[in-house]
Each structure stands twice: as C-alpha cells, then as structure tokens.
Amino acid sequence: MTKRIGVIAVLLVAVLALGLAGCAQQPSASTAKVLKVGAETTFPPFEFQDEKTKEYTGFDIDLMKAIAKQMGYEMQIQSMGFDALIPALEAGQIDVIASAMTITEERAKKVTFSKPYYKSGLSIVVKSDNNTIKTFKDLEGKRIAVQIGTTGADEAKKIKDAKVREYNSTSEAFLELKAGGVDAVVNDLPVNQYYLAQGGAKDAKAVGEILNAEEYGIAIAKKNKDLADKVNNALEEIKKNGEYDKIHEKWFGKKMQ
C-alpha cells in the first residue's frame, strides 16, 4: 500500500514538473508558428485600425485570429494595398489573404480560395442632395470613385461612358465624393453601410439596387495545398462550435441568413 502511494506520489511530481515545464514554454511567442495574414487595413468593419489602441480590428481580423488559433498558429497582420495582396501571396511574403476579398474566377486562376465565409455585394453611395442617380443605369456617363483592384472597380468600368477614378483606399473614394470630385462611389455594401452609419450619412446616402452575388474567401497560394486544407478545416470547425456566429454577431448583429 505505502509502496503504491509512493509510486503515485512520484508520478504526480513528474506530471506536475512536466506541466510546469509546459507552462514555462508557452509565453515565448517565438516558438509558436506564425500565420502571416495580408490585408488592406482601411476597410471597416472588416479590417481597420482601432483609433485608440492602433491595433488592427474587424470581422476578418477576429475570424483569422479564431482560425489561426484553431490551427495552432499565431496571427500576424501585414498591411498593404489591395492590389498588392495577390502578388505578395504569390511571392511568399504572406501565407494567406483575409481582406474582404471576393471570390472571382479571375483571381481563382492565381490563388486557392477557402470555402466562402461571408456573403456580400456592391452598392452605390451618392451625396445626400443627389436626386438623379438612383440605379446602376443612372451612372452612365458619370464620375465614379472606386478602390483600385476591386470588384467595385470592375463593375464601374462596365458602365457606359463612366469616368472611373481609382483610389488606393475606400476612404479616399468617400473623401472625393464629399469634395464633389465624383458623383458616386461603387463599393462593397457592408462597408458602405458601415461608413454611412459611422457619420457618413451626414452628407451621403445609399441608392439603387444591390448587386449581391459576391462571396468573400480567404486566399492561399496555389502551391500551398496543405495550408488551404487546414484553413478550410479550421473554418468549418469554428462554424460548428459557434465561434463564427459570435464574431458575426459582434460586427453585424444577429445572423439572418
């Protein structure tokens, strides 16, 4: 009996020692695997800098944190222009793109997209006192501001005789609208809604039908098949365990889909 207790005691000490050793290792971030996430970080509410803390925040940021954690990685954001993201991924400077990036055929030739993670679409924003633009058709011949390299830019370029001006960020496009340099902004619906809700509605409004056939995906380099599988598995897992819904609710309120 005493011998048995002795054995148990020794085992307990061993387990404790191992546990402590494990704890001691955890805080050294250098041993954790890092997932480099590329994003254009002026696209609220998906990715932007918190004014006070200067930390990156938003739906995509929270989503990627959850996905990285699920995969056993730490996430690190690398901020760059939207049109620089795919080249950076191809060059191996980043591991994934999470930047409200719409899954398109054109992009899918260059990158592997995860399963869709957010349904989106495009919409039009004009100045509050504009009563002539009510539909995409009304944009014919008009000056339209867009963000460079986006689906909004592609759509605007399809409009007859439109003068499309491309800006590095959506906020610059909105500033140009405010300044009267353009007649409209064509951009992702949830981002337009957020802009209007955050004060933009003082002198701008949303008009027209919504083109809602877009879905966002996480992009992974074509050669990185393993990573694409891991990202998809993690995404599926956080959808199952309720984490995705929590993040969605935090940024958009209760899910309606």
Contact positions toward ligand GLN, by CB under 6 A? 40, 43, 82, 99-102, 147, 150-151, 188
Q: What are phi and psi of 108, to 5 degrees?
A: -65, -10
CA dihedral 228, 233, 235, 237 (to 10 degrees): -170
Between 70 and 192, CB nearer to ligand GLN: 192
Tell me how far, at minimum, the Cβ of 156 lies from ligand GLN, in Å.
12
Between 73 and 82, CB nearer to ligand GLN: 82
Question: What distance in Å separates the CA atoms of residue 70 and residue 244, rounded to the nearest whole number?
Answer: 12
Contact 94, 88 (CB under 8 A): yes
In sign, the C-alpha dihedral spanning 165, 171, 172, 178 is: positive
Q: What are phi and psi of 61, to 5 degrees?
A: -65, -50
Tell me how far, at minimum, the Cβ of 45 lies from ligand GLN, in Å.
12
* Burial call 7-38: b when 16+ CB within 10 Å, e when fewer: eeeeeeeeeeeeeeeeeeeeeeeeeeeebbbb
Between 138 and 188, CB nearer to ligand GLN: 188
Between 42 and 70, CB nearer to ligand GLN: 42
Tell me how far, at minimum, the Cβ of 31 lies from ligand GLN, in Å.
32
Question: What distance in Å separates the CA atoms of residue 24 and residue 206, rounded to the nearest whole number?
Answer: 54
Between 40 and 138, CB nearer to ligand GLN: 40
Question: What distance in Å separates the CA atoms of residue 149 and residue 80, rounded to the nearest whole number?
Answer: 13
Opening angle at CA 190, ends 105 and 115, nearest 5: 40
Tell me how far, at minimum, the Cβ of 184 lies from ligand GLN, in Å.
16
Tell me how far, at minimum, the Cβ of 108 lies from ligand GLN, in Å.
12
Between 70 and 97, CB nearer to ligand GLN: 97
Tell me how far, at minimum, the Cβ of 15 lies from ligand GLN, in Å.
49
Between 57 and 70, CB nearer to ligand GLN: 57
For residue 115, the tally of other CB atoms under 10 A from its CB is 14
Tell me how far, at minimum, the Cβ of 91 lies from ligand GLN, in Å.
19
Amino acid of residue 86: I
